[in-house]
């Protein structure tokens, strides 16, 4: 799976959050405006544009930004280590979103994290694996993450929905002290607003055979980038730093878009975090 954001996307997100124009950044980089704009659009870096100067102006880590420019990707993750955790990707060739389904192998109790854009894939696994869907955890209420909630609840009405949305009924709303057991697995939540007001990260621990904890982050952070947070950029970064990158390095990060990654990979390579 390709990175959600290429170099140009990273530059454009940072620029928008600081209210800068492409003209201004072209001047910083010492190139004509159309050369800078082409870099933002394509993400292809030929070494002409001074990335270190752009990084300094945008508050990005220059070394990590150059890493992305040179094709860094997180080491690919073998999900079989987490029995059982599945990524379900819905959408089309132009736009996809990840949701995640996990279950306890012995009890067959299951939890879904975000619904994706359609219900078929998740209902198919639930049927094939004879699972009992107990919980649906929502990372944030942007449409691509909750689009299939209605049809899934229709088929699985016993599943309890959890979210941090102020509009959610009280009995569904996350509290910081909540923990939920799905068989032997233990799920806690931590607020990660910024990209969305109701952004929340779920941390799943106590996996069999000492597999590392799993953080299901929605769009708070992507491999090498982060979700758009124009109005709350600093808040978004602070929450990711405090609530996600503070987890043990081997923690698996399951983002709403793009490939799986780890806390260690993102500390070492995500240009938004110095
Ligand atoms: Zn979102």
| pLDDT band, residue 7 (cuts 50/70/90) | very high
The structure tokens listed for 148 are 């299939």
Identify the CATH number of the domain in which residue 16 sits. 1.10.260.40
- 124 and 216 inside one domain: yes
Whether residue 274 is contained in a domain is answered as no
Q: Distance (Å, rounded) from C-alpha 99 to C-alpha 40? A: 29
How confident is the model at residue 38, as a pLDDT?
96
Q: What phi and psi, each to the nearest 5 degrees, are found at residue 269?
A: -135, -10
Whether residue 1 is contained in a domain is answered as no
- CA distances 256 to 75, 82, 164, 214, 218, Å, are 18, 18, 16, 13, 4
Residue (of 213, 187, 212, 215) closest to 201 by Cα position: 215
- 100 and 42 inside one domain: no
Cα-to-centroid distance, 186 and ligand 1 (Å): 25
Cα-to-centroid distance, 228 and ligand 1 (Å): 8
Whether residue 120 is contained in a domain is answered as yes
User: Residue 178's domain spans which residues?
Assistant: 79-269
Q: Domain count for the chain, please give it.
A: 2
- 61 and 84 inside one domain: no
- 154 and 29 inside one domain: no
Cα-to-centroid distance, 140 and ligand 1 (Å): 7
Whether residue 74 is contained in a domain is answered as no
- 51 and 129 inside one domain: no
| pLDDT band, residue 136 (cuts 50/70/90) | very high
- 124 and 16 inside one domain: no
- 148 and 32 inside one domain: no
- 156 and 43 inside one domain: no
Query: What mean pLDDT is predicted for residues 174-199?
Result: 96
How confident is the model at residue 119, as a pLDDT?
96
The structure tokens listed for 6 are 């290429």
- 57 and 135 inside one domain: no
Identify the CATH number of the domain in which residue 230 sits. 3.60.15.10
Whether residue 193 is contained in a domain is answered as yes
- 178 and 231 inside one domain: yes
- Looking at 45, 69, 93, the residue that finishes a domain is 69
Whether residue 22 is contained in a domain is answered as yes
- 143 and 30 inside one domain: no
How confident is the model at residue 171, as a pLDDT?
85
Q: What is the rounded average pLDDT for all residues in the chain?
A: 96
Cα-to-centroid distance, 114 and ligand 1 (Å): 11
Cα-to-centroid distance, 52 and ligand 1 (Å): 29
- 97 and 153 inside one domain: yes
| pLDDT band, residue 170 (cuts 50/70/90) | confident
Cα-to-centroid distance, 208 and ligand 1 (Å): 31
| pLDDT band, residue 230 (cuts 50/70/90) | confident
- Looking at 33, 48, 69, the residue that finishes a domain is 69
**Is the confidence at residue 267, as pLDDT, over 90?**
yes
Residue (of 234, 164, 156, 165) closest to 202 by Cα position: 164
Cα-to-centroid distance, 193 and ligand 1 (Å): 11
Q: Distance (Å, rounded) from C-alpha 119 to C-alpha 150? A: 9
Whether residue 2 is contained in a domain is answered as no
pLDDT digits (tens, 9 = 90+) for 67-119: 999 999 999 999 999 999 999 999 988 899 999 999 999 999 999 999 999 99
pLDDT digits (tens, 9 = 90+) for 17-60: 999 999 999 999 999 999 999 999 999 998 889 999 999 999 99
């Amino acid at each position: 799976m390709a990175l959600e954001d290429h170099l140009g996307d990273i530059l454009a997100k940072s620029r928008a959050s600081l209210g800068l124009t492409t003209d201004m950044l072209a001047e910083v980089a010492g190139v004509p405006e159309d050369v800078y704009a082409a870099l933002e659009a394509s993400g292809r870096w030929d070494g002409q544009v001074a990335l270190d100067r752009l990084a300094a102006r945008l508050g990005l880590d220059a070394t990590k930004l150059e890493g992305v420019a040179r094709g860094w990707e997180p080491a690919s993750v073998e999900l079989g280590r987490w029995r059982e955790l599945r990524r379900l990707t819905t959408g089309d060739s132009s736009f996809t979103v990840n949701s995640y389904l996990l279950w306890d192998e012995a009890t067959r109790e299951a939890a879904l994290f975000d619904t994706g854009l359609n219900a078929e894939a998740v209902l198919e696994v639930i049927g094939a694996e004879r699972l009992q869907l107990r919980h649906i955890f929502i990372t944030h209420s942007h449409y691509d993450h909750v689009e299939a909630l209605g049809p899934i609840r229709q088929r699985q009405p016993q599943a309890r929905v959890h979210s941090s949305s102020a509009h959610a009924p009280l009995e569904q709303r996350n509290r910081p002290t909540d923990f939920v057991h799905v068989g032997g697995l233990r799920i806690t939540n931590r607020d990660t607003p910024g990209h969305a007001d109701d952004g929340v990260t779920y941390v799943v621990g106590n996996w069999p055979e000492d597999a590392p904890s799993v953080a299901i982050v929605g769009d708070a952070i992507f491999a090498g980038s982060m979700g758009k947070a124009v109005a709350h950029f600093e808040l978004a970064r602070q929450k990711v730093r405090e609530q996600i990158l503070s987890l043990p390095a081997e923690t698996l990060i399951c983002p709403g878009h793009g490939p799986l990654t780890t806390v260690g990979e993102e500390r070492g390579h995500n240009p938004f975090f110095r």
